[in-house]
Structure 1
Amino acid sequence: MTVRSALGTAAALRQGQIDAVELTEQTLEAARGVGAQVGAFAHLLEDLSLAQAEAAARTLDDARRSGTLEQLGRAYPLLGVPLPVKDLTQIAGQPFGAGSALLEGNIAEVTDGVAQLLLDAGTVTIGKTSVPEFGFPCYTEPATGPPARTPWDLRRTAGGSSGGAAAAVASGVVPLAHGTDGGGSVRIPAACCGIVGIKPSRGLVSAGPHGTEGMGLVTDGMLARSVRDAAAGLDLIAVARPGDFLTSPRPQKGFLASCDRAPSALRIGVLTEPLAARTEIHPAALRGLERAVELLRGMGHQVQEVPAPFTPEQWRAFMPLWTVGAAALDLSEDAEPLLMELTRWLRAEGRTYDGVDLTRAMAGVQTIARRTGEAFSELDVVLTPSLAAPPALPETIQLADGGEDFDAQCRFTPWTSTWNMTGCAAISVPIHREAVDGIELPFGVHIGATRAGDDALLLGLAAQLEQADPWPLVRAPHEA
């Protein structure tokens, strides 16, 4: 199957170079083949996808006959493009398992707002991508299906919780995929799989009409092989809804247009101190960061090293919110033994907190966000490695004891969650590759905005890096 970008695929569909139904059949075949190798999908949605493709083909044929292809491309820029939905997001009448044995065989009754936007945009769902149980860990080892693995080394995790989405994109099954991010769940798997992953600003993508945003730690995002594709995907879902607690501005011309406006003379901070845990940083991760720094200096940006704005102990203010969220899942006592160890531990920890603790935790997270904002107020963006180490071997982070498992995850991902606390946009770009134990692996660089609403600036900078130092687009699954 020819590998195209999401935007290139859409253009080829409009020009009649490929047929929407044939493309969908080829993509489903790839999902059953390469996709199965990397554990990309929890469920394939063949009937829905073929119906979507047939509708797209009819729309394209009508536009050709009426001479309105150009207008159609503006209104539906990704019409007919395969774009799977993460299995933490519901599509009515389709499986919704959230990686848990408790929901095996469950069928969604409603369609979540973001999924509906993707359906309305004329994209082809293909399937629901694999997730860990309820999306809690930074690895993807579901209770009900195969684990998600990075195609760079099938022994290593694809990251989480959008691990299936990242694996599907990186292995070439689809050019673009939906994800969600509450502590790095888009950016971590993007780094593990050598692709782009963006978490937008708080309030840019509505959780409605069926979901609620709470403190806004979790948001929907996009995973892609190119910055432009990620921006085009973000344009589809960046919609406000009635009742949103907070909204973030959207550029008048959309996020894709921002990729063509390279920012100049930005003030860039470089942070190498870990934030969520005290841990060593792999030398290749630091070399990847230095590679990005050299490129940015060559573009005329002002780059300076900055210290950590808070300590790992202060970061622990995040903990009650995460564990109480797990405890708040509406499950019966009989269901508890069916849960995976990490989920049981999170729920048990969450039950130890009361309303006073939760209120203090919410204040603590805002305090960290304020301290971080003040520390970075003279900067436009902050660079860190995306991860402290190469894509992890699962046995090094998925541990038998829930508390030790959580701590290992913090050591592996010591930066990403900070941008969930601040609410600012952040993106991981696969700028570097290096051999580890004889196998080439990806090392991402994390770029975090310092002001809410600077998504367009972030995408422009990431596109500037991509143009200066392009990365590999597809990785065939590699067995060590």
Structure 2
Amino acid sequence: MTDLHELDAHDLAATIAAGEASCVEVTRHFLDRVDGETLGAFVTVTPERALERAAAWDAATVRPPFAGVPTAFKDLTPTAGVRTTMGSTLMADHVPDHSAYLVDLVEAAGFVSLGKTNTPEFGLSSYTDNDVVGPARCPADPERNAGGSSGGAAAAVAARLLPLAPGSDGGGSIRIPASCCGIIGLKPSRGRVGAGPDSPTWSGLATDGVLARSVRDVAAMLDVLARPTPGASRVWPAPAVPFAEEARRDPGRLRIATWTDPYLDFVEASPGSVAAVAAARESLVALGHEVVEIPNPWPAELEPQFNVIWSAGMASVPLPPEAHGALRGTTRYWYERGGRATAPELAAALTFLELTTGRVNAELAGYDLFLTPTLALPPQPHAWFTESGDPAEDHRRELLFTPYTALMNMSGQPAMSLPLHEHDGLPVGVMLAAHVGGDALLLQVANQLTR
């Protein structure tokens, strides 16, 4: 019999349904693996809570499809009765009294949470490190960072501590760690996943998504999450056909645009990133698709406008002055930078992003999908981002690392990182994106490439 941790969520659910393992047995198996992990994947582990929920599913006469399948929630996601630190020592003892909408949806589907996965302070970085538990490590090379900000979730899934995990993505925070850890990461279309009544979506940048090892697990979790939030006005309706079914369909022959040059002229794609796209292009052509190389269509002027919105979001957090000294350097950098932005500057930045990304996508209407590297560099050593001690240099290095992913947050397009390549023994992801609303098409081609 295959070890339980080698199974994806679908096969684990089938194993439980067939009576080959109970929900409690599966939960104990994964808790034992988490107990010995050295990757910094978790901030908090909740064995008693997990076993209690597993036992309840074992006793239930009617169970949802994924009853007893383990997962965990990112430590940015409020979870009732469970410590939720946001990766910050300022919130090291914070225990929410109610859960995010995402938690309710995932738990209603039967998944059993083992705890909270690691994230950088307030999710601001493309690498995962904090002063609560330290860095999340790349399973392929623990001396390198797992990426961020869903780095703990990605490390846990890659190391078989979990079959899948939800994450959140405001500038690449699902796709970046998915690439670093060699798994699949999906950021859905803007509005596809409702944020819930406690999570404002004024900037349109961030959304919840999923990290997993199989496309069918990604599609199934998207079905769990793609439910309109009560009272929300900026969401898609639940799909008429489940994404799990759509993902198995043939997409037909598609026209796919590809580029590898970053949109910032001081950034260069590494040989591994270029090679990964070349290999993916060959696979797509072999599948019958037309792949056309084009210049990078995105203007560099987007980057400073994105920074106005990103920093303003951080500056809106009501922190007392005495708390500023407890923030990590890069968090304080964004907090102070956002505090200097004026209301007209923020409005102008939001307008620029909306008009510019809309124009670019109108010009790309003749293409169905877009293929690029996920990252410009492979997973980096933990200290590489912060070794200068200068937060502005930290930011510059993050741009050198990840100049592709945030564009899809600016535009609202669905995008996935796929683990199709390795270079020098390290995973290198490629990013596929579709037009807004094209989540099903994206899953279909991802399924073609990974099966």
When normalised by structure 1's length, the TM-score is 0.91
> For structure 1, which runs of at least 5 residues remain unmatched after alignment?
64-71, 468-480
How far apart, CA to CA, are the structure 1 residues paired with 2:284 and 2:318?
A: 48
- Tell me the SS of whatever aligns to 2:144: coil
Q: Does structure 1 residue 425 correspond to structure 2 residue 414? A: yes
- Closer/same/farther in 2, CA of residues 95 and 280 from structure 1, 3 Å limit: same
Alignment partners' CA distance in 2, 1:122 and 1:265: 37
Task: Provide, for residues 390-431 of structure 1, a one-character-per-residue CA deviation record: whole Å limited to 9, x for no partner.
Answer: 111122223411111111111111110111111111000000
Matched position secondary structure for 2:71? coil
The percentage of aligned residue pairs carrying the same residue is 40
Across the aligned residues of Structure 1 and Structure 2, the Cα RMSD in angstroms comes to 1.2
CA distances 1:283-303 after superposition (whole Å, capped 9, x unpaired) = 111111111100111111111
Residue 260 of structure 1 is matched in structure 2 by 248
* Offset from partner CA, 1:33-91 (integer Å, 9 cap, x none): 13xx11110000112111110111112xx35xxxxxxxx5xxx2211100111010011
Q: Are 1:459 and 2:426 counterparts?
A: no
Residue 413 of structure 1 is matched in structure 2 by 402
Q: Which residue in the other structure is 1:28 paired with?
A: 31
CA-CA distance at 1:276 after TM superposition: 4.8
Answer yes or no: is the 8 Å Cα contact 1:85–1:127 preserved in 2.
Answer: yes
Which residue in 1 is equivalent to 2:147? 159
CA distance in 1, matches of 2:31, 2:377: 33
> Which sections of structure 2, spanning at least 5 residues, go unmatched?
none
For residues 120 and 249 of structure 1, the distance between their equivalents in structure 2, rounded to whole angstroms, comes to 19
Partner residue of 1:374?
362
**Match for residue 58 of structure 1?**
59
Alignment length (residue pairs) = 447
Amino acid paired to 2:47: E
Distance 1:221 1:161 in 2: 12
Instruction: For 1:276 and 1:228, locate their aligned partners in 2 and report how far apart those are by CA, in whole Å.
Output: 35
- Hey, what does 1:211 align to over in structure 2? 199
Residue deviations 1:252-289 (CA, integer Å, cap 9, x gap): 23111122112121110001121256312111111111
- What amino acid does structure 2 have at the position aligned with 1:463? N
Aligned residues of 2:302 and 2:353 also touching (Cα < 8 A): no
Shift of 1:371: 2.7
SS at match of 1:88: coil
Q: Are residues 1:181 and 2:169 paired? A: yes
Distance 2:265 2:26 in 1: 45
184, 187, 190: which one aligns with 1:196: 184
Query: What is the letter of the counterpart of residue 283 of structure 1?
Result: P
Q: 1:389, CA displacement in angstroms? A: 1.1
2:166 is paired with a residue of what secondary structure?
strand
Give the Cα–Cα distance (whole angstroms) in 2 for the partners of residues 321 and 246 of structure 1. 19
Letter in 2 for 1:331: L
Deviates most, 173-182 or 205-214: 205-214
Rounded Cα–Cα distance in structure 1 between residues aligned with 2:302 and 2:193? 28
Per mean C-alpha deviation after superposition, the further-off stretch among 275-284 and 131-140 is 275-284
Which consecutive aligned stretches of 4+ in structure 1 deviate over 4 angstroms post-superposition? Answer: none
Shift of 1:311: 2.9
Deviates more, 1:240-249 or 1:319-328: 240-249
Matched, 1:348 2:336: yes
Aligned partners of 1:318 and 1:364 also within 8 Å: no
**What residue in structure 1 maps to residue 18 of structure 2?**
15
2:117 alignment partner in structure 1: 129
**Correspondence for 2:128 among 122, 131, 140:** 140
Give the secondary structure class of the aligned counterpart of 1:125: strand
Deviates more, 1:117-126 or 1:153-162: 117-126
Residue 21 of structure 1 aligns with an amino acid whose one-letter code is: V
Deviation at 1:234, TM superposition (A): 1.1
1:69 alignment partner in structure 2: none
The aligned counterpart of 2:326 is 338
Question: What is the letter of the counterpart of residue 445 of structure 1?
Answer: V
User: Normalised by the size of structure 2, how large is the TM-score?
Assistant: 0.97
CA distance in 2, matches of 1:277, 1:7: 44
> Any idea what SS the aligned residue of 2:421 has?
strand
1:445 paired with 2:448, answer no
CA distance in 2, matches of 1:277, 1:333: 38
